Amino acid sequence: MGFNVSSIKTSSDGIWQGENPLHYAFPLLIIQTTLVVFLSRCLTFLLKPLRQPKVVAEILAGIMLGPSAFGRNEAFARWIFPIWSTPILESVASIGLLFFLFLVGLELDLKTIRKSGKRAAGIAFAGISLPFVFGIGVAFLLRKVIKGVDRVGYGEFFLFIGVSLSITAFPVLARILAELRLLTTQVGEIAMAAAAFNDVAAWILLALAVALAGGGKAHHSPLISLWVLLSGIGFVVFMFTIVRPIMIWMARKASCGHHIVEETFICLTLAGVMLFGFMTDLIGIHAIFGAFIFGLTIPKSGDFGGRLILRIEDFVSGLLLPLYFASSGIKTDITKIHSLGSWGLVVLVVSTACVGKVLGTFFVGMLYNIPAREALALGVLMNTKGLVELIVLNIGKEKKVLDDETFAILVVMALFTTFITTPAVMAIHKPSIHQIQLEKTPKTKENNLRILACIRGPRDARSLITLIESLRSNKNNNSSITKLYVMQLVEFSDRLSSILMVQRARKNGFPFISRVLRRDDDTTDQVTTAFEAYSQLGRVKVRPTMAISALPNLHEDIIHVAKKKQAEIIILPFHKYWQMEGGEEMEIHAGHGWRTVNERVTRQAPCAVAVLVDRGLEVNSMRVCIVFFGGADCRKAMEFGSRMVEHPAVRVTLVRFIQHIGSNFDVAERTLDDTTIADFKMRWDKQTVYAEKEASDELVEQVLAIGKSGEFELIIVGKGMFPQYIMAKLSENPLTDQHSELGPMANLLASSGKEIKSSVLMIQQQAFGCENSKDMNSKVASQC
């Protein structure tokens, strides 16, 4: 059925009116979008075991929908992707691409690039220049072998070939590094910095290529190219001298907390993306350049950029961007590579791209004293292609610089080089979780307390500082020194905001802390400098480290660092916290994934584990209650709580629940409990309050009463391993098994709607590996 483009309507009147919705623009666009997203997600799932980045699946999905696979079926092509729908699909995809490139500009921090040093700049230069030089020979050969290519000027053809061979896909590289657990290693840091250099250089070269191409018009003259180039330079100068100060002012005003002002500035910014895209298109450079440069002008400090990303990222990356891959796939016809000679050209182009990148990066890396294996892995990583490669190729096809066969060859090259990156790096570098970057620290005496504390955000940092401060003794002796390893947990995903978070983490070991309490500058300064101040006190030594992984793998990083640093206890933040809003207590949930992290750590940790349920800790005058039921976990909780006794601002109360000896009574455990309590009272009797209560049938109500009383800011309890009569009473209450990582008693005190005012610290004796334990007894040792 033929269609007149001028007669195409937006929507149909429905099948009951005898109309086929697929003959109308909007219903067809819905079907196309659904099919593209579904297929790309399916391929992402199938390729996940091979640890491939999502972009590989999206490129494959686009190719499959084109004339290389499904599109070979005439009925499919006529009904789902008819020729008349191509401009509509490409227009919607271009809007997605426009905003995605704006997000890419947001994630690139020029200050970080400038501070990356000569090593990253040298590696980036080598990774660009050598493949670019090799592109001269490839361009010459392609023009000789492929018919019709020689009608295009050699200069613009060579530029597009050189850029396509020398590009490194910065967002794709970041995701591969995260998947291989290399983001915080030396290789990862150099690769990220060099890729950022490479990204900026690639956009400059592409702008030059577009200016020279001129749309393939016969009357195009060098003078027009010069005007386009000068206009582009003028646009960049305008953006950084006029627009950037305005955006800095807008970002500062948007952070004032006024909702209407924030919404207005965000809407103006999103409108600016399209406006500046139009300006570069007007100049003669592609519209995406305007969006990209505008993204670079947005200040990276503060939360304005992060809020912009959160507003549009999922819609753009999840829905609109796959349409761009589909529109690219429709243009890619692998069958154009039909002869043995054509496939020989594919091998040549792929080999040239790989050899140029790997050799250039490897030799310069060796000059900078990078070990051979790491330098080789770095070269393979820098050969990663992705969306930027497709953008270059699509612009080249639009400008009639690349024909169908050359376009298909270069798409195959981009797909193959990205696909082999992960397995090649795994074979060369053998990545593992043992390559997490840890600051080297001198050995300390065995009687020092080693704590691995994990933080997700500013609230965790604040409560952690309070808790660690309560452990600090005023006595000047080496036995009271606390060594604190602060592990910042960064969830890495396919979102661009993950890359932005990684970059912030690189600039500052504690990127979240600078955002604590924006309303109070004094408090912000105190929190920002708190960890450094602790180190200067002489009894708390702070060592920062960082784990950047997907949530299902974060527990492995935590456990490895605990083993590496011989931590005596791991402190984890609970996945919920509470805050007062309008006089009411509001429960805030960090997500089920974080709960899973805590559960896995408590099951597999080589040392004791504590989970902090924070309801707002203040160390100025903190009252602590240790609730003791008996068993190894309670003894460990009491040992931990006893370290707070010597702090002048902390008042410790020990409440023991006991029952007279009966049939369900473990004499050995009771003896250990009695001995531990006696030692505690002998040492701290004058500085603590001790109380005994009978474990009656109202045990649950007795414990809840302690939490509701408001007498204590913090309640410390053991996770489990209680005497049988205690467990029997607790098992009758359904609230005691809500969260497996907390145990029955902490579950009661962490439950919502019970008017509990106290924060809760659950402590679990180590699950296995008792070599670091200070609570050694025959029964626990036999279990280990």
Q: Report residue 433's pLDDT band, with 50, 70 and 90 as the boundaries.
A: very low
Closest CA to 574 of 612, 616, 615: 612
**446-489 pLDDT per residue, tens:** 457 788 989 887 777 778 878 887 877 665 554 455 788 888 88
Dist. CA 553–CA 489, nearest whole Å: 11
Query: Which positions ≥6 away from 763 have C-beta within 8 Å?
Result: 569, 608, 609, 610, 633, 636, 637, 640, 716, 717, 718, 719
Residue 43 sits at the vertex; the CA angle it makes with 42 and 46, to the nearest 5 degrees, is 90
Q: Which residues pair with 657 in a beta bridge?
A: 693
Output the CA–CA distances (angstroms, integers) from residue 757 to 76, 569, 705, 708, in the order listed: 63, 25, 10, 6
Q: Indicate left, alpha or beta for 168 from its phi (over 0: left) and psi (-120 to 50: alpha).
A: beta
Token match 């039909």: residue? 338
Tell me, rounded to whole angstroms, the distance of Cα 236 from its chain centroid.
30
Element (H, E) at 410: helix 404-429
Output the CA–CA distances (angstroms, integers) from residue 707 to 6, 159, 405, 624, 747, in the order listed: 73, 70, 73, 11, 12
Residue 137 sits at the vertex; the CA angle it makes with 134 and 140, to the nearest 5 degrees, is 145
Mean pLDDT of 754-759: 78
pLDDT at 105 over 60: yes
Query: Which positions ≥6 away from 114 have C-beta within 8 Å?
Result: none
pLDDT at 630 over 60: yes
Dist. CA 89–CA 326, nearest whole Å: 9
Q: What is the mean pLDDT of the chain?
A: 79
**173-196 pLDDT per residue, tens:** 877 887 777 876 778 878 888 888
Query: In this predicted model, which residue has the larger pLDDT, 685 or 536?
Result: 685
pLDDT at 445 over 60: no
Q: What single-letter DSSP state applies at residue 293?
A: H
What is residue 569's predicted lDDT score, i.e. its pLDDT?
A: 92
Least confident range of 14-23, 326-335, 484-493: 484-493
